[in-house]
């Protein structure tokens, strides 16, 4: 059933039927979803610095047929969304982080992808579409599907702190961000179904942050050797959403069959004309990119508790 539904939502021959996708705006007829309550004291002082609203204001939902799957709808402020979009575009696609552009030799080691895109119109259109992933921390080997101790770079401190705050706030988890994959999906692209089992620690939750374009996210569990339609769920993810795959859902089959433009007005922009500070240095180029693409930050804990190296 997973493959059939993936093909259905991916199809370009007919418009996507979002009536069959969980959107979390009206739960009256969606018996597969219930609200998830968190009980915690807001003792952190870094919410604003990380671009987060207070956890007591988060709308969190749990999908009943996918045990452990949580969707957080409003963890970020508009300013926070802009901050993380900017980091993914202008700060993270540089060495020692790895990108798919390294393999193709489209950039020199000293070149910054975003800077080149803004200053070289001839290369811009090619580079915009060519960047598909960045790896930070332990670098995922796409051929062997494994990590290696001698292939890693530092995980940005702000990303470590973001995941720590989300983990403690949502599940009381002690989580250490040790590997991240940032995926870039131009409108109309897809990510085929797969299971994230490269990490020795497959118990720690996986955090998945979305920015820019909307996406249909498909997740399911296999039973009896065959996909069971009752255990395959389609979710609509929007800019600023957080998906947490914990418990049984941590090793569930999942994929992205459809990426669509964001709704207007853009959820990272204040429709009333928010005044931006000089520190933000936001430009229309960021809007242009994320209005035609989706950015997804996947963060994992690689090592088991007490384990220091692979």
Binding-site residue ranges: 194, 196, 254
Tokens matching residue 178: 């040790």
Q: How many CA atoms lie within 13 A of 127 on its CB side?
A: 23
Residues in contact with 163: Cβ distance below 8 Å, sequence separation at least 6, in sequence order = 175, 177, 207, 299
With beta carbons less than 8 A apart as the criterion, state whether 92 and 159 touch: no
SS3 of residue 219 by DSSP: strand
How many CB atoms are closer than 10 A to CB 309? 5
Q: Which residues pair with 259 in a beta bridge?
A: 215
CA distances from 164 to 247, 255, 267, 306 (A): 18, 25, 24, 17
Nearest-angstrom CA–CA distance, 163 and 44 = 13
Bin 273: left if φ > 0, else alpha if -120 < ψ < 50, else beta: left
Nearest-angstrom CA–CA distance, 236 and 291 = 17
Nearest-angstrom CA–CA distance, 225 and 114 = 45
Binding-site residue ranges for Fe cation: 194, 196, 254
Backbone phi, psi, residue 12, to 5°: -95, -5
């Amino acid at each position: 059933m997973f493959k059939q539904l993936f093909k259905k939502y991916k199809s370009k021959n007919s418009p996507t039927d979002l009536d069959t996708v969980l959107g979390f705006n009206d739960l009256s007829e969606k018996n597969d979803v219930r609200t998830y309550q968190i009980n915690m004291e807001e003792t952190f002082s870094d919410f604003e610095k990380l671009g987060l609203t207070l956890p007591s204001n988060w709308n969190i939902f749990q999908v009943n047929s996918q045990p452990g799957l949580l969707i957080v709808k409003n963890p970020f402020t508009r300013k926070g969304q802009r901050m993380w979009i900017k980091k993914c575009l202008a700060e993270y696609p540089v060495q020692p982080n790895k990108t798919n552009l390294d393999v193709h030799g489209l950039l020199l080691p000293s070149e910054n992808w975003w800077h080149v895109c803004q200053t070289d119109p001839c290369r811009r259109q090619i580079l915009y579409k060519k960047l598909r992933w960045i790896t930070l921390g332990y670098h995922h080997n796409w051929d062997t599907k494994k990590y290696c101790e001698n292939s890693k770079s530092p995980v940005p401190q702000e990303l470590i702190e973001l995941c720590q705050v989300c983990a403690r706030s949502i599940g009381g988890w002690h989580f250490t961000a040790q590997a991240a994959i940032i995926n870039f999906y131009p409108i109309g692209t897809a990510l085929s179904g797969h299971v994230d089992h490269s990490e020795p620690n497959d118990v720690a939750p996986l955090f998945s942050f979305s920015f820019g374009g909307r996406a249909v996210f498909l997740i399911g569990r296999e039973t009896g050797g065959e996909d069971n339609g009752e255990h395959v769920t389609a979710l609509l993810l929007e800019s600023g959403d957080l998906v947490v795959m914990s418990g049984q859902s941590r090793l569930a089959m999942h994929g992205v069959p459809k990426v669509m433009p964001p709704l207007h007005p853009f959820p990272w922009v204040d429709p009333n004309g928010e005044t931006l500070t000089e520190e933000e240095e936001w430009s229309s180029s960021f809007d242009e990119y994320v209005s035609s693409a989706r950015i997804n930050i996947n963060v994992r804990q690689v090592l088991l508790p007490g384990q220091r190296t692979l």
